[in-house]
């Protein structure tokens, strides 16, 4: 059974019409990801499936110490609380703890001691004090024999890049590139086969539906794949500081090597409950 909520979610994510969304869900047997692909194949989706809708509030905390870099996302229900100094300090303290203790997951992190109590106890204490639900959502920690570059855009976007060779300016440029251009992969060679096959299948379906002859379809697909690599692979992206728009990131490396990167943006993948502004204020006053 295709529910109204599923249709609504698909419509919000793809921008397609209600009936097209319902038909896509029916054809896919209720499989949401397959329904997105069907809409894309038919040219009905407004854009490719997004990695995540920016929804929840909170902060990204960043810590770099020598060759160790850490990003942490801590969420709150409202932007008002995200600006609270005590909440921001809590996020910063957790980033420092991750840097020092290297926990393997959120569960282990929650059991670590922060001051005179565990992280979980501190979180519960802050919830009682602030009056909102708070969560330590995710973290990433890089420890390297190379270099760590970082960039923090306010408190909403954080980036760390692990690289070898080059200078500090290159590191800054790479971190800002990741923040601004949101790459999904390091290079075309690192795109998982499953992702690549999925994109190829979508591009083939689009090309065939355009009515082009078979000998042209292959060229169209390869052209679309090149654009996909240019949009999603860091080293194949156009370098944001090149005013002529001709240089790619790989052209500025000059022998340096990017080993890995991480980019956190507040609320990726979390669907936020929509509230009337007056209701939100009233809820804060309760």
Q: What is the pLDDT of residues 202-241, one digit of tens each?
A: 998 888 887 778 788 889 999 999 999 999 999 999 999 9
Under the banding of pLDDT at 50, 70 and 90, the label for residue 8 is confident
Predicted confidence at residue 271, as pLDDT, reads 65
Coil/strand/helix, residue 15: coil
Q: Give the separation between CA 174 and CA 69, rounded to whole angstroms.
A: 15
All structural domains of the chain, each given as residue ranges with its CATH number in brackets, are 1-50 (1.10.8.10), 57-185+260-270+277-285 (3.30.479.20)
Backbone angles phi, psi at 158, to 5 degrees: -130, 145
Q: Which of 14-23, 57-66, 117-126 has the lowest mean pLDDT?
A: 14-23
CB 39 within 8 A of CB 25: no
Contacts of 37 (CB under 8 A, 6+ apart): 28, 198, 201, 202
3-state secondary structure 87-116: HHHHHHHHHHHHHHHCCCCHHHHHHCEECC
Tell me the whole-structure pTM to 2 decimals: 0.77
Tokens of 46: 């407004």
Question: Could you read off the pLDDT of 110-147 as tens digits, one per residue?
Answer: 999 999 999 999 998 998 888 888 999 999 999 999 99
**Residue-level length of the chain:** 286
């Amino acid at each position: 059974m295709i529910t109204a909520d599923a249709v609504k979610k698909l419509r919000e994510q793809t921008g397609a019409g209600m009936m097209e969304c319902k038909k896509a869900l029916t054809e896919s047997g209720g499989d949401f990801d397959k329904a997105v692909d069907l809409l894309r194949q038919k040219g009905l989706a407004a854009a490719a499936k997004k990695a995540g809708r920016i929804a929840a509030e909170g902060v990204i905390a960043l810590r770099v110490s020598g060759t160790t870099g850490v990003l942490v996302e801590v969420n709150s229900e409202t932007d008002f609380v995200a600006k609270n100094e005590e909440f921001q300090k809590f996020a910063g303290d957790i980033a420092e703890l991750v840097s020092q203790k290297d926990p393997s997951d959120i569960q282990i992190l929650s059991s670590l001691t922060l001051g005179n109590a565990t992280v979980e106890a501190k979180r519960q204490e802050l919830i009682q004090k602030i009056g909102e639900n708070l969560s330590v959502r995710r973290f990433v920690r890089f420890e390297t024999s190379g270099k760590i570059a970082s960039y923090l855009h306010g408190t909403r976007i954080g980036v760390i890049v692990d690289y070898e060779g080059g200078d500090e300016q290159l590191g800054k440029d790479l971190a800002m590139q990741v923040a601004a251009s949101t790459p999904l992969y390091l290079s075309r060679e690192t795109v998982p086969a499953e992702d690549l096959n999925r994109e190829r299948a979508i591009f083939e379906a689009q090309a065939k539906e355009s009515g082009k002859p078979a000998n042209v379809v292959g060229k169209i697909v390869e052209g679309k794949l090149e654009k996909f690599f240019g949009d999603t692979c860091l080293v194949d992206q156009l370098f944001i500081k090149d005013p002529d728009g001709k240089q790619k990131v790989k052209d500025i490396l000059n022998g340096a090597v990017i080993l890995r990167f991480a980019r956190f943006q507040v609320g990726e993948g979390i669907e936020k409950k929509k509230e009337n502004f007056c209701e939100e204020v009233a809820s804060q006053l309760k």
